A and B are shown apart, each in its own frame.
Chain A
Amino acid sequence: MEHYNMNLTLKVWRQRNSKDTGHFDTFQVKDISSEMSFLEMFDVLNEQLVSEGKEPIAFDHDCREGICGMCSMVIDGQPHGPWGQTTTCQLHMRHYKDGDTITVEPFRANAFPVIKDLVVDRTSFDRIIQAGGYISVNTGNAVDANSLPIEKHDADEAFAAAACIGCGACVAACPNASAMLFTSAKVSHLALLPQGDPERKTRVVNMVEQLDKEGFGGCTNIGACEAECPKGISIENIARLNREYVGAMLDGGSKNTI
């Protein structure tokens, strides 16, 4: 690959805390290498701000390998930026050219309040999992792993749903700020496996109820979630959730306590 350097203009959302109204600040960054990741470009900007005695921009990030789901950012209107099936941390600067202007905002949703700048609170996702996103098996209760053969196709499909990293891009992408893709990925993962069968009905009912409580919007089948999902989680999972939900409700909405 040809390496090159570029100068860029960045318009970045600044917000002191959840009470502040927030605004865009404009910054110039120079000599950004095409080899850098997008977050490394932010490191350069932050070092520049610190050297000027200013406060750096707060943004979430951790593994920088596209798997922990901590990084967020809406880049030029797209959660996780312009590359398909790529998290912000894996987006690289060779996508951009000298002179470009890039606008960076936080994931926006009522259920994701801004903590500071580009950092948002996604604990609502934890609470959705707490509502039923698990199989109730205490440590030490398991039988031999191979005593339960699972058809490869089902196992692969469950894995594809379980690949969700819980980043929240689906919510940020959705005009309704719905978290249906996230919730349906967990419902699918567990519904596709025989181990998940005993709690199948209570799980979907409880998780959907929690989803509503958190203030996420409803799903109107727009499909933006799937398009922006960095892990390619399929919208078919939402269809499966709906089937599971209707089935559970027809069965008397067997809402259980855990």
Chain B
Amino acid sequence: MTLNSKIPSGDLNAKWETYKSTCKLVNPANKRHLDVIVIGTGLAGASAAASLGEMGYKVKTFCFQDSPRRAHSIAAQGGINAAKNYQNDGDSTYRLFYDTIKGGDYRAREANVHRLAEVSANIIDQCVAQGVPFAREYGGLLSNRSFGGVQVQRTFYAAGQTGQQLLIGAYQALERQVALGNVTQYSRHEMLEVVKIDGKARGIIARNLVTGELERHFGHAVLLCTGGYGNVFYLSTNAMGSNVTAAWKAHKKGAHFGNPCYTQIHPTCIPVSGDHQSKLTLMSESLRNDGRIWVPKAKGDDRKANDIPEEERDYYLERRYPAFGNLVPRDVASRAAKERCDAGYGVGASKQAVYLDYSSAIIRYGKSEANKLGINNPSDAQVKELGKGVVEAKYGNLFEMYEKITGENPYEVPMRIYPAVHYTMGGLWVDYELMTSVEGLYALGEANFSDHGANRLGASALMQGLADGYFVIPYTLGNYLADEIRTKAIPTDHEAFVEAEKSVNDRITKLLSIKGKESVESFHKRLGKIMWNKCGMARNEQGLKEAITEIQALRKEFWENVFVPGSADEYNPELDKAGRVADFLELGELMCIDALNRNESCGGHFREEYQTEEGEAMRQDDKYMYVAAWKYNGESNFELEKEDLNYDVVKPTQRSYK
């Protein structure tokens, strides 16, 4: 099969408009007879389910948490981009499109990204109408800030809790549809299999996590909005429950997996403090608006940060990238931090950290505040006090979080930060309509591969999740379902449902019957170490080959020696986790295979063999300007299909932020 991206023909600016005006529609009477299953209730899932419910489809939502409001979109801190140009700083749809394509290191589809930029402005309008309390200026209008890889201010935010506010907005819209009877909500449920009939996705097998019961649900279409797979690394900024299971089941049922090796390592996270660490905490990229990143100029300098004089500090991002300074894209900032630490300039007990320093911002803000208040010749202490007030208003909750975790006061001493796994650009391959290579099976938000290429820019994940859910799927799903109006709901005693349920049941029985000696947690940690060391921020051929062998061996060991306590017919979080880790053990191998195949460096994928003399990523456009879409043919047997990327409007160049 050749992959068909179904990108509409015509001028880039007109593609989406033309598509919307010419796609098939489903009349209201028919919508009432069409069932849509939505897995995952984060920004993509909740916005899709709410919108489709409003349109009149019969929707069912599933999430493993106790409420849709818990989905990990909630943890996004910094903001959401939109090409509104409210700041009159030259922003436009084209610039947002261009920045995203360039930020993604020329590995994303032009048509998808342009559509994303086009609908970005509608998202802000929709959210404000829902009552999302974005930050405002004194004049009552919306406030903006900057994010990495960009020279305009187009990021809308709600303090450091933008994801929370957007998700609550989508959640409320979803609950309204639940109240109206258009959506049925299943919480504490996990999807464990896709049911395919005559080549089309026709439903799912879900497990009620409270009772352990397996349930069969029919749908004319199934939407996976299940987020990313960063937890394959064990330590990441993802929530503990974030997993690849739904996407992986879809993959094994015929959905191609796109660019699995593209992982985003976020530069500003709180460093690991010890072996007990269960997850890593992000410090928002918005902190790079005002904070300055540095290490000592001298190797192994053990002095306290505040004892190192200004002239002995190396503000290495400002030095290497004067045009963008501390606001270079995430992949660039992460690699630069790793380079300094590897070279022996790291700080803190582990030496695996750099400083993020607010002292000069505090003084700058303090002086301006003193001016505003008409205080002539303010004392240093006064300036500092006033400056702290301003910083607290902007970033207070983040500073507080840092202090709770580390016990250090970031207003007084610079924060210590280090890169950590944060987001996965890769995901299920989808066409322009967000349909996977299985008919009727869609992937939205972080779960798909589509819009961020090899590196995602900050504040773009929220934008994509909501774009897919509010503004794309309502059109593209109709285009498919218009041909399904004659399909009656298929009874769930159909043999495809029976078989799918049996395979799920067999796997659960197997997991519980091993009764080995090692915990699920321990296997997960071991997998994470392999992935981080050999398929993390820097990769090379030898390491990746070793990782593949090691993961295969670990997987074998897991299926022989894992211990899962309890039974299948009760609330059993260890069993849930065992299923997820088993899937990670298969995905990890594919990520390494993909990273090994891609003999170039691009965005978050850095192959040590392919770098410029200055240590920047070196693409191989003549050989790798394609999406690597992997087909599952059996255990350890993945087949590569390529979707060539064509750049009609933007001319790929070596990315420069200097």
Q: Check A130 for interface membership: any CB of B closer than 8 A.
A: yes
Chain B 436-459 near chain A by CB (<8 Å), digits 1 or 0: 000000000000000000000000
Q: Are A43 and B278 in contact (CB under 8 A)?
A: yes
- Name the one of B124, B175, B180, B273 contacting A133, with C-beta atoms under 8 angstroms: B175
- Name the one of A17, A142, A146 contacting B141, with C-beta atoms under 8 angstroms: A146
Q: Which of B479-521 contact A (CB under 8 A)?
A: 519, 521
Q: Check A148 for interface membership: any CB of B closer than 8 A.
A: yes
Q: Which of B32-67 contact A (CB under 8 A)?
A: 47, 50-51, 54, 65-67
Q: Which of A183-222 contact B (CB under 8 A)?
A: 189-190, 193, 195-196
A116, B571: Cα distance in complex, Å: 7
Q: Are B474 and A139 in contact (CB under 8 A)?
A: yes
Say whether, besides A86-B404, A145-B125, A152-B140, A40 and B69 are in contact (CB < 8 Å): no
Chain A 62-104 near chain B by CB (<8 Å), digits 1 or 0: 1111111110000000000001001000101010000000000
B179: chain A residues at CB < 8 Å are 130-131, 258
Tell me the nearest residue of chain B to A56, going by C-beta. Answer: B574
Q: Check B139 for interface membership: any CB of A closer than 8 A.
A: yes
A144: chain B residues at CB < 8 Å are 125
Q: Check B239 for interface membership: any CB of A closer than 8 A.
A: yes
A149, B491: Cα distance in complex, Å: 52
Q: Are A145 and B173 in contact (CB under 8 A)?
A: no
Report the minimal beta-carbon distance from B473 to chain A, rounded to whole angstroms.
10
Tell me the nearest residue of chain B to A131, going by C-beta. Answer: B179
Q: Are A40 and B405 in contact (CB under 8 A)?
A: no
A26, B606: Cα distance in complex, Å: 49
Q: Check B137 for interface membership: any CB of A closer than 8 A.
A: yes
Q: Are A43 and B571 in contact (CB under 8 A)?
A: no
- Name the one of A37, A39, A70 contacting B66, with C-beta atoms under 8 angstroms: A70
Q: Are B401 and A66 in contact (CB under 8 A)?
A: yes
Say whether, besides A165-B164, A193-B131, A62 and B241 are in contact (CB < 8 Å): yes
Q: Check B630 for interface membership: any CB of A closer than 8 A.
A: no
Q: Are A68 and B175 in contact (CB under 8 A)?
A: no
Say whether, besides A1-B407, A63-B75, A126-B185, A195 and B519 are in contact (CB < 8 Å): no
Chain A 1-37 near chain B by CB (<8 Å), digits 1 or 0: 1000000000000001100000000000000010111
Q: How many residues does chain B have at the interface if contact means C-beta atoms less than 8 Å apart?
A: 83
A46, B141: Cα distance in complex, Å: 50
Q: Which of A125-177 contact B (CB under 8 A)?
A: 125-126, 129-131, 133-146, 148-152, 155-156, 158-159, 162-163, 165-166
Kindly state the interface size class of chain A when it binds its partner.
Answer: 35 or more
B137: chain A residues at CB < 8 Å are 152
Name 18 extra pairs, CB < 8 A, besides A67-B161, A126-B178, A159-B165.
A33-B273, A35-B273, A40-B277, A58-B573, A62-B70, A63-B70, A64-B278, A64-B279, A65-B281, A67-B163, A121-B66, A139-B126, A140-B126, A142-B129, A146-B141, A156-B136, A159-B135, A166-B69
Interface positions of B (Cβ within 8 A of A): 47, 50-51, 54, 65-72, 74-75, 84, 86, 122, 124-131, 133-142, 158-159, 161, 163-165, 168, 171-173, 175-176, 178-180, 185, 187, 210, 239-241, 273-274, 276-279, 281-282, 401, 404-408, 470-471, 474, 519, 521-522, 563, 565-566, 570-571, 573-574
